[in-house]
């Protein structure tokens, strides 16, 4: 999926840096110096324009993957079960005709076989993969994922 596209005259962005590097490796490609410069500029701009907030107990955050770039910071959960972090991912559905996508449906990779949003559960797993779970990834890819999760320093 392209990083930038357009739907109804509006710019759409899908920038998942932690997926771009492994995808390039898998395809056997390398970025040009200009592409590297553009990616790093985008990463810096996103960090400079970010809004950070802390959720308190009982609060929730909702993000639309097609309307905003978003991420979450690492955290250390309490060892006390009553205070442990509870993180649930919910897929909110809209009618199919209202899903404004940058390209054709063949690029909509977050859809189950029954056409509902979300990822199919991986056999043998409960569907939840921890942010830093690299056990089933070769060392080079794991290093790429880890490097991609480090936020660049603002250029101010």
Q: Which structural domain, as residue segments, surrounds residue 76?
A: 4-149
CB distance 2 to 10 below 8 Å: no
Nearest-CA neighbor of 110 among 24, 19, 40?
19
Domain contains 156 = no
Domain contains 154 = no
Domain contains 155 = no
Domain contains 46 = yes
Give the total number of structural domains in the chain.
1
Nearest-CA neighbor of 88 among 68, 109, 65, 60?
60
Domain contains 103 = yes
Q: Each residue's pLDDT tens digit in the chain (156 positions)?
A: 567 777 777 777 778 887 787 778 778 888 899 999 998 899 888 888 888 888 887 788 877 766 678 777 777 778 888 877 776 666 666 665 555 555 444 444 445 555 555 545 544 444 444 455 555 566 776 676 666 666 667 766
pLDDT at res. 61: 81
pLDDT at res. 86: 73
Judged on CB neighbours under 10 Å (0-12, 13-18, 19+), 66 is middle
């Amino acid at each position: 999926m392209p990083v930038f596209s357009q739907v109804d005259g509006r710019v759409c962005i899908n920038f998942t840096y932690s997926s771009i590097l492994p995808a390039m490796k898998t395809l056997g490609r390398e970025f040009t110096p200009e592409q590297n410069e553009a990616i790093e500029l985008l990463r810096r701009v996103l960090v400079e324009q970010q809004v950070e907030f802390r959720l308190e107990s009982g609060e929730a955050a909702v993000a639309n993957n097609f309307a905003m770039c978003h991420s979450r910071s690492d955290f250390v959960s309490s060892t006390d079960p009553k205070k442990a972090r509870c993180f649930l991912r919910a897929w909110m559905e809209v009618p199919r005709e209202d899903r404004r996508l940058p390209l054709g449906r063949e690029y909509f990779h977050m859809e189950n076989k029954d056409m509902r949003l979300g990822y199919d559960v991986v056999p043998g797993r409960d569907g939840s993969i921890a942010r830093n779970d690299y056990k089933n990834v070769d060392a080079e890819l794991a290093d790429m994922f880890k490097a991609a999760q480090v936020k660049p320093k603002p250029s101010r």
